[in-house]
Amino acid sequence: MNDYYQILGVGRDASPEQIKKAYRKLAREFHPDVATGDGSDDRFKDVTRAYEVLGNADKRRSYDMGSDPSAPGGGAGGAGGSFGFQDIFETFFGAAQGASAQRGPIPRARRGQDALVRLDLDLVDAVFGAHHELQVDTAVVCTTCAGSCCRPGSSPRTCDVCGGRGVVQRVARSFLGQVMTSSPCAACHGYGTVIPEPCPECSGEGRVRSRRTLTVDVPAGVDTGTRIKLTGQGEVGPAGGPAGDVYLEVREREHETFVRRGDDLHCTLEVPMTAAALGTVMTLDTFDGAQDVDLRPGTQPQHVVTLRGLGVGHLHVGGRGDLHVHVDVQVPTALDDEQETLLRRLAALRGEERPEARLSAAHGGVFSKLREKLSGR
């Protein structure tokens, strides 16, 4: 008795799908119209005979019990046999061709496309969040036909060419003989129906272009590049199909005073030299209103005062970043005679009339701060 499992190259516990896959591979390789080597015709017959047995549940069961159903007197295949023309057709043309005949008409209503809209925001909107309204040009359901695509009082008609199936079948010749192929119906474009009287308002589209107002709640913490999804707010699909989505891509405008780094804000506070030396309290306008900045006597240039919780809101998690105030000590450039006299007296009292040149340490000084600034730390 022939070893059909060995012929197909599968194990005895192979599933029906594994057996079918193995057969298709070997059938392509050894079919007489494809293969050129000697013995390919006999090999193709062996492969086909093996699949006739193992591809049929009843015949395979009989074969596993020691009987060869393909041998003379070995028994006939039951009605549930799975081998036939469809297997050969799918082997050489793929399952998609066979499935197309069973596909049926295409739905006329389809989902609309998504839209990407840019949303320009001020920094204050990112700090606290905001409620915005914006105008978009999009597709909406035609109010005249309510998405039916037909003139009011009329309705779609079954296609005379395909009989409502959406596909037409044709006989084509191949090396296997005559085969049936299916393709979308050219008369109805695969829909199975035609629109005899299209809606005059939308020209049979079931939708029209219109300007809509979208409302969006922008959460605190958004930044340039953040995308906000508005589900079902995109354009309506053909024939009144479901609407797509709108994605709002945020672009944050630069602020005149504050610079954002992550969820922290940074600003520069100009302080007179005398105020930095003597110490003072200065009032700073922030997004949270006026805030006092306490400068101790001897405040140095590039000193940073941190105001906790006055930065940008953390996206989705609550809380806020900080506001970092960088001190810029202003050295006077134009002195009158009295001011110059006073400064010279001060220099004399401090022994700084002819100060010695002293280099600062490389770490922790101006150069260290400069490196940190260039590296974004």
Query: Binding site annotation covers 149?
Result: no
What's the rounded mean pLDDT across residues 314-328? 94
* 145 among annotated binding-site residues: yes
For residues 8 and 18, is the Cβ–Cβ distance under 8 A?
A: no
Q: Give the start-to-end residue ranges of the domains of the chain.
A: 4-93, 115-252, 259-331, 338-377
Q: On the CB side of 283, how many CA atoms lie within 13 Å of its CA?
A: 4
Among 119-123, 219-223, 345-349, the least confident range: 345-349
150 is in an annotated binding site: no
The residue-averaged pLDDT of 71-85 equals 47
End-to-end CA distance of the chain: 80
Q: In the prediction, which pLDDT does 366 show?
A: 45
How confident is residue 99, by pLDDT bands cut at 50, 70 and 90?
very low
The mean per-residue pLDDT over the stretch 126-155 comes to: 94
Parallel/antiparallel/unpaired status of strands 264-272 and 323-330: parallel
Span 4-93: which CATH code? 1.10.287.110
Per-residue pLDDT of 288-319, as tens digits, reads 999 999 999 999 999 999 999 999 999 988 89
267 is in an annotated binding site: no
* CATH code that applies to domain 115-252: 2.10.230.10
Q: How far apart are CA 12 and CA 17, in angstroms?
A: 13
Is the pLDDT at 283 greater than 80? The verdict is yes
Question: Helices then strands (H, E): number in the chain?
Answer: 10, 15
227 near 247, Cβ under 8 Å?
yes
Q: Average pLDDT of 343-359?
A: 84
**What integer pLDDT is reported at residue 27 of this predicted model?**
80
pLDDT band (50, 70, 90) for residue 371:
low
> Do the Cβ atoms of 313 and 220 come closer than 8 Å?
yes
Q: Is 188 annotated as a binding residue?
A: yes
* Whether the predicted pLDDT of 119 surpasses 70: yes
Encoded tokens for 269: 């506070």
Is 185 annotated for ligand binding? yes
pLDDT tens, position by position, 173-184: 666 666 777 888
| pLDDT score of 91 more than 80 | no
Burial letters 166-181, b for 16+ CB under 10 A, else e: bbbeeeeeeeeeebeb
The answer, yes or no, to whether residue 44 has pLDDT greater than 60, is yes
Round to whole Å and give the CA distance between 207 and 236. 7
- C-alpha 23/C-alpha 27 separation (Å) is 6
Q: Is the dihedral of CA 64, 68, 70, 75 positive or negative?
A: negative
How many residues are present in the chain? 377
Catalogue the E-assigned strands of 122-220. 130-141, 157-158, 167-174, 177-184, 193-194, 207-218
pLDDT the model gives residue 40: 72
Give the torsion sign (CA, 308, 311, 313, 317).
negative
- Which of these ranges, 3-12, 211-220, 226-235, has the smallest mean pLDDT? 3-12
Longest dimension (CA), the chain: 130
**Do the Cβ atoms of 291 and 283 come closer than 8 Å?**
yes
Q: d(Cα 264, Cα 308) in Å, to the nearest integer?
A: 10
pLDDT digit string (tens) for 18-36? 988 888 888 878 776 666 6
Give the separation between CA 140 and CA 208, rounded to whole angstroms.
6
Q: What is the pLDDT of residue 224?
A: 95
The yes/no answer on whether domain 259-331 falls in CATH 2.60.260.20 is yes
Q: Is the pLDDT of residue 117 over 50?
A: yes
Check whether 16 has a pLDDT greater than 70: yes
CA–CA dist 111, 221 (Å, integer): 32
Q: Are 200 and 184 in contact (CB under 8 A)?
A: no
Ranges assigned E (strand) in 113-272: 115-121, 130-141, 157-158, 167-174, 177-184, 193-194, 207-218, 227-230, 246-252, 259-261, 264-272
Q: Is residue 367 over pLDDT 80?
A: no
Residue 93 in this model has a pLDDT that exceeds 70: no
pLDDT at 95: 43
Residue 203's pLDDT band (cuts 50, 70, 90): very high
- Please spell the DSSP secondary structure of 277-321, one letter per residue: HH-EEEEEEETTEEEEEEE-TTPPTT-EEEETT-SPBPTTT--B-
Is the predicted pLDDT of residue 364 greater than 60, yes or no? no
User: How large is the average pLDDT for residues 189-200?
Assistant: 94
- Mean pLDDT, the chain, whole residue set: 84
What's this model's pTM, rounded to 2 decimal places? 0.62
Percentage of the chain modeled with pLDDT above 70:
82
